[in-house]
Amino acid sequence: MRRPLLLLAIVGGLVLATSANVAAVASPYSFSDPAGDAPKGVNTDILRVTIVHKSTVRITIKMKHAAPFSRWGTDGNLTNLPVYFKAPAQYYICSAKTSVHMCHGESIVQSCTVARSLDATNNRYLYSFPRSCLNNPASIQLFVVAGAFGSTQLSDSDRAPDAGYSKAVAFG
């Protein structure tokens, strides 16, 4: 009698553990990215990403060194800093030297305004936009790429998280 109960308890625990991994985490949610893993150097090294999923979505990207937007595209600095969302598919923030937009595939989403700023003191880029730009999802998953030019073409300098998407962040 003890073995079936023990087996049932183990299986139940595994089911609960598996469902806990699927559930979305509470907003705000932060995750780290290893320092020093950006081949292009400190100006493209992402250290931490924070996601706030409320009526206004706020994404903060902590860098080893956050260069002013006016320096983007110059030697050793970011060329772009796109933020890709898992759903809806093909939506991403396209952020370059002189502009920032919500994009879908190769098009700009005209009905969505994305704001960005630089907190130079704390080496952070801050992005915000209405949650409705992503069709009001129950949760948000994303990854960030710090892109810089190599000798002849754009190369991914750092990605956060390094593989896959962030955990799902619940609306709250």
> What amino acid occupies position 28?
P
Q: What CATH number belongs to 25-170?
A: 2.60.40.1190
CA dist., res. 114 & res. 134, Å (int): 12
DSSP state of 81: -
**Percentage, residues of the chain above pLDDT 70:** 83
Give the C-alpha separation, 95 to 61, whole Å: 13
Domain map of the chain by residue range? 25-170
| Mean pLDDT of all residues in 32-45 | 89
Query: For 72-118, how does the pLDDT look when each residue is reduced to its tens digit (9 = 90+)?
Result: 988 778 889 999 999 988 999 999 999 999 999 999 999 999 999 99
Mean of the pLDDT values across residues 39-64? 94
Residues 142, 82: Cα–Cα separation, whole Å: 10
- What is the structure's pLDDT at 40? 79
